[in-house]
Amino acid sequence: MHPRALLEACAELVGLVLKFDHPADQVVSRYFREHRELGPRERATLAETVYTVLRKKLLFDHLSPSGSGPKERRMAILGFHGPRDFLKSALGEAEKRWLDQCDAVKPEDLLERHRHNLPEWLVAPLKAQLGEGFWPLVQSLQQPAPLDLRVNALTDKRPDVQKELGLAGIPAAATPFSPWGLRVEGKPALAKLDAFARGAVEVQDEGSQLLALLLDAKRGEMVVDFCAGAGGKTLAIGATMRSTGRLYAFDTSAHRLDALKPRLARSKLSNVHPAAIAHERDERIKRLAGKIDRVLVDAPCSGLGTLRRNPDLKWRQSPKAVEELAVKQAAILQSAARLLKPGGRLIYATCSVLPEENESIAEAFSQAHPDFEILDIAPLLSALKVADAETLCAGGEAGTRYLRLWPHRHATDGFFAAAWQRK
């Protein structure tokens, strides 16, 4: 594709994404479906350009007014993913001069907001939690997330799959914390791999793997994945149960559960029972009350721990949306807890970095439910042979630690988890 046409396409896609009427990944996928003529390299340029614009939106909003032409073109030029000389061959003389001026701006001459590129309402809670760690977090949010795979523990061993991927020209390293994880370099086409087709691997962030591990579901148990979605964690849990017992995958979205079906077929699991529920107080939940050994509540959340993958979320979320989510999260946790039998384990998890969706929900639940004993996450993870478990945790009430994963510290998405045992 000619550089000029590619830049035009980037500008068009940037314009569509910046409407913020749909999630960026959906807008990008739709654009690709409607433009079948685009090759893999062009798609990569388009996607990375759009994501860079989303990641650095405040900076680009600040730099773009000094340029000329449509705003989406100026934003696409600033975020263009590719060699500078390739980009410049698509630009007019005035645009080239403007780009040089923008490139010459020194970070130390910029306002703080143009360096962190975060909405103000997010800055205060992040600084309060991280202190000096705020800027390393900002740095990590400007990078794409690594590609992590989870090896299916039911069918395969991690070193074997690692070797197999290496032979297929895909170098992969064992993840430091999850016993099932492989971190792959670049973005190889996985769908064509035999390991993927036969269900030996699934794409899953190492942090998500740790949440499933934390549930520690055993052979023959009755287990509920309350907010199963497309079943990322369901599949990992089913494998720890060695495909025995009963694993219910509940979700209010039948559409999301549908996406679990092909993954389930590949996984070779036969213990998973997906079921769409109307809401968290559904009849089905009432019937199972007091009968379940382990419940995972992977709650609907703001997703603000996943900004490396979904940078549009920082512009699409709002304090009001977070407030509404917190009400929902508390209601789901309370209903899900009724499922547990005495001695059973409850895990509440989010991919948010905001205390309102995390510690606040966990602490309110603990206070209202004296029959649930909060568990310290660090020894649970150590018992599961996770290395350096303390470094993955942060203090909660009375010294009890929660799981607290951060992109800049653990190279995972931002995750939270609390664990309780029903007395």
Report whether 25 belongs to an annotated binding site. Answer: no
251 or 359: CB nearest ligand SAM: 251
Residue 55: CB atoms within 10 Å? 21
Among 226, 372, 402, 420, binds ligand SAM (CB under 6 A): 226
Q: How many residues bind ligand SAM (CB under 6 A)?
A: 20
User: What part of residues 273-332 is at the interface with ligand SAM (CB under 6 A)?
Assistant: 277, 279-280, 298, 300, 332
Contact segment (CB under 6 A) with ligand SAM among 75-83, 173-181, 222-230, 376-384 equals 222-230
Q: Give the nearest distance from C-beta 339 to ligand SAM in angstroms.
A: 12
Strands 246-251 and 222-225: parallel
Q: Give the nearest distance from C-beta 350 to ligand SAM in angstroms.
A: 7
31 or 402: CB nearest ligand SAM: 402
90 scored as a contact of ligand SAM (CB under 6 A): no
Among 87, 172, 213, 227, binds ligand SAM (CB under 6 A): 227
Report whether 103 belongs to an annotated binding site. Answer: no
Query: Known catalytic residues?
Result: 351
238 scored as a contact of ligand SAM (CB under 6 A): no
Contact segment (CB under 6 A) with ligand SAM among 1-9, 105-113, 193-201, 225-233 equals 225-233
Per DSSP, what are the bridge partners of residue 250? Answer: 275
Among 229, 238, 396, 414, binds ligand SAM (CB under 6 A): 229
380 scored as a contact of ligand SAM (CB under 6 A): no
Contact segment (CB under 6 A) with ligand SAM among 42-50, 69-77, 106-114, 245-253 equals 245-253
Residue with token string 């470094």 = 391
Residues whose CB is less than 8 angstroms from the CB of residue 160 and which lie 6 or more positions away in sequence, other chains included? none
Q: Give the nearest distance from C-beta 373 to ligand SAM in angstroms.
A: 24
Alpha-carbon distance 91 to 86, whole Å? Answer: 9
Residues whose CB is less than 8 angstroms from the CB of residue 306 and which lie 6 or more positions away in sequence, other chains included? 145, 313, 351, 413, 414
Q: Give the nearest distance from C-beta 155 to ligand SAM in angstroms.
A: 19
String marking each residue 198-217 x if it binds ligand SAM according to CB under 6 A: ----------x---------
Alpha-carbon distance 305 to 311, whole Å? Answer: 10
Q: Give the nearest distance from C-beta 236 to ligand SAM in angstroms.
A: 8
26 or 139: CB nearest ligand SAM: 26
Residues in the chain: 423
Q: 382: exposed, middle or buried (C-beta count within 10 Å: 0-12, 13-18, 19+)?
A: middle
334 scored as a contact of ligand SAM (CB under 6 A): no
261 scored as a contact of ligand SAM (CB under 6 A): no
348 scored as a contact of ligand SAM (CB under 6 A): no
Q: Give the nearest distance from C-beta 211 to ligand SAM in angstroms.
A: 8
146 or 303: CB nearest ligand SAM: 303
249 scored as a contact of ligand SAM (CB under 6 A): no
Contact segment (CB under 6 A) with ligand SAM among 131-139, 247-255, 262-270, 377-385 equals 247-255
Q: Give the nearest distance from C-beta 177 to ligand SAM in angstroms.
A: 17
Confirm if 219 and 245 have CB atoms less than 8 A apart: yes
Confirm if 338 and 378 have CB atoms less than 8 A apart: no
User: What part of residues 141-180 is at the interface with ligand SAM (CB under 6 A)?
Assistant: none
Binding-site sequence positions for S-adenosyl-L-methionine? 251, 298
Sites of contact with ligand SAM (CB under 6 A): 208, 226-233, 250-253, 256, 277, 279-280, 298, 300, 332
Question: Which positions make up the binding site?
Answer: 251, 298
